[in-house]
Amino acid sequence: MIGILGAGAFGTALAVALAQGGRSVRLWARSPEDVARMAATHRNDDRLPGVVLPPKVSFHADAGDLLEAEVLLFCVPMQSLGGFLARHQDQFARQPMVACCKGVDLETLRGPVSVIQAARPDVAAAILTGPSFAADIARGLPTALTLASRDSANVELQTLLSTSSLRIYRTDDVTGAELGGALKNVIAIAAGVVIGAGLGDSARAALMTRGYAEMVRLATRLGARAETLAGLSGFGDLVLTCTSPQSRNFRHGHALGRGQAFDSGVTVEGVATATAVVRLARQLGVEMPVTEMVDALVSGRVTVEDAIPNLMTRPLKQE
């Protein structure tokens, strides 16, 4: 049995895909009302409209109901992960814990795996990341993801989480996988700004390229392998989130570029990640001008009208 903590769009989509692949899934939601509604309808239309959850998915408001799971998938927002683990860790056994969120914790400047390891050093910790939209996963469309762990349980988890439509690759480069998934959200906000401001696809391509250079620069400074950033968890995810309006980060940036408000109820992981990464990069002496500009934009310290010229007038250099 697989336990999924978090019944947002991504957690619900994984529950659908894994149950359709023959796994029994227990899906935890914070709200007892949501649990009762999903149990009655086998739908989660607030998060994933039009999708019917298979019979092998059961619904739970008590995290202790997932005690017997072979693995726990944490589909909660990155900035909530540490607090969630602190509140519920006594309800879990020693099964592997897999983060399904992307970002850098604002308080500790840690990635998801490090947050899990700090809370539960006695369990195998991993991250599931890569180019994926919840709606595609739930519809059974082909999706490939990266599972990163330093633990030998990586191979067993790869098999357990793979289905006919969900192809899982594995790596032991946790730092590369964490930072690829985190940083691409920041660059996706910038890409949205570019398109929203009407600067065109050529400008977006340039932005993505220079943003990718920043991703590699910071990740390798922290010990990641450059080839990990060239894979699904880095380049693959970057392309998806910078080019599709399904991406919340891209949509947020697009609204910024057009001078429009964005729904404050939608979680946009790249906003907090930009702030955290700027702090981390400064500590390490790593230059990240795109990330710094995104942080300044989302915090309201600069306007779009100021941001673009500031990037374009940086000193000329060799690529």
Angstrom distances, CA of residue 318 to CA of 205, 288, 315: 18, 16, 10
52 strand-pairing partners = 43
Sheet holding 71-74, edge to edge: 57-60, 25-28, 2-5, 71-74, 97-99, 125-129, 143-149, 166-171
Report how far residue 45's alpha carbon sits from residue 51's, in angstroms, rounded to the nearest whole number.
7
Active-site residue flag, 56? no
Output 83-91 pairs: Cβ under 8 A, ≥24 positions apart. Answer: 84/5, 85/115, 85/116, 85/119, 85/120, 86/119, 88/5, 88/63, 89/119, 89/120, 91/62, 91/63, 91/64, 91/66, 91/67
- Extract the tokens encoding 315: 């000193």
- How far is residue 98's CA from residue 75's CA, in Å, rounded to a whole number? 9
**Number of residues assigned to the chain:** 319
> Hey, what are 251's tokens?
């949509």
**Which of the residues 56, 102, 184, 317 is marked catalytic?**
184
Distance CA(107)–CA(104), nearest Å, equals 9
Angle at 111 between CA 107 and CA 247, to 5 degrees: 100
For residue 36, what are its two tokens? 């009762």
Work out whether the CA dihedral 13, 14, 16, 21 comes out positive or negative: positive
Cβ neighbours of residue 249 closer than 8 Å, sequence gap 6 or more: 185, 186, 188, 189, 192, 241, 268, 269, 270
Active site residues: 184
